[in-house]
Amino acid sequence: MQEMVSKCRSEVEGIYNKFDASHDLDHIDRVMKNAEKILATEPGADELVVRLAVLLHDVEDAKYEEMHEVTTIELLEKIGATQQITENVISAIESVSFSGGNAKDITSIEGAIVRDADRLDAIGAVGIARAFAFGGARGRKLYDQQEEARKDMSVSEYRKKETATVTHFHEKLLLLKNLMVTPKGTCLAEERHEFMVHFLKQLKLEIE
């Protein structure tokens, strides 16, 4: 297992180093640490599938479509993954995206672990840092007090409008705590969520 995981990390390193700081290799490493914490409480999960899915889950992220050079399946073939492993990894990855609240159903414990691990990195102190890093990379406003958070969006609506970063908290980040799936992920999300709430209250005070 370790050899395949190491090969995979070597393959994706150059890909993620081209992304902005919100989705770089450090993000992948943090998600892996989150996944390891959850894995320790889910003994029935396939660790290899989880680790490969974490490493590959942003390779074909739609936000970086113009930078895509290789597909997830091609990378899995390159590192020698079997057809079954490939199918399980792809299934887990497909469970991850938020997509304006239109995420696909989770079909495996591996998918649940990877989704929770990734979403944990979207909230709390590091989630705040990532949100503003992404917004800065895209030239978005820090906040817009006249902008209302959208609800019941389609995937295209969610991705089309470039809202201010603080609006993004209300459209996604503050919703994630209640969307966690695993018991460990739910527990870890509590403190991170409260930190974001406190941050937004302080930001509001300073703005006003």
Specify the CATH number for the domain of residue 81. Answer: 1.10.3210.50
| Gyration radius from the chain CA atoms | 17
- pLDDT at residue 166, as a whole number: 97
Alpha helices in the chain (DSSP H): 2-16, 25-39, 47-56, 72-78, 83-94, 109-120, 124-137, 155-160, 165-171, 183-207
pLDDT of residue 159: 66
Maximal CA-CA distance, the chain: 57
Global confidence as pTM: 0.92
Q: Which two tokens stand for residue 156?
A: 């295209």
Question: 166-172 contacts: CB < 8 A, separation 24 or more?
Answer: 166/142, 166/200, 166/203, 167/143, 168/131, 168/135, 169/131, 169/196, 169/200, 171/100, 172/98, 172/100, 172/101, 172/122
Residue 147: alpha-carbon gap to chain centroid:
25
Q: Tens digit of pLDDT for each residue in 104-132?
A: 789 899 999 999 999 999 999 999 999 99
**Number of domains present in the structure of the chain:** 1
What would the two tokens of residue 20 be? 């902005």
Containing structural domain, residue 6: 2-207
Q: What pLDDT sits at residue 155?
A: 73
141 with 121: CB under 8 angstroms? no
CA-CA distance, 114 to 132, in Å (whole number)? 23
Output the pLDDT for position 62. 84
In the predicted model, residues of the chain with pLDDT beneath 50 are none
CA distance to 16, 55, 62, 79, 163, per residue, from 29 (Å):
11, 8, 20, 19, 28
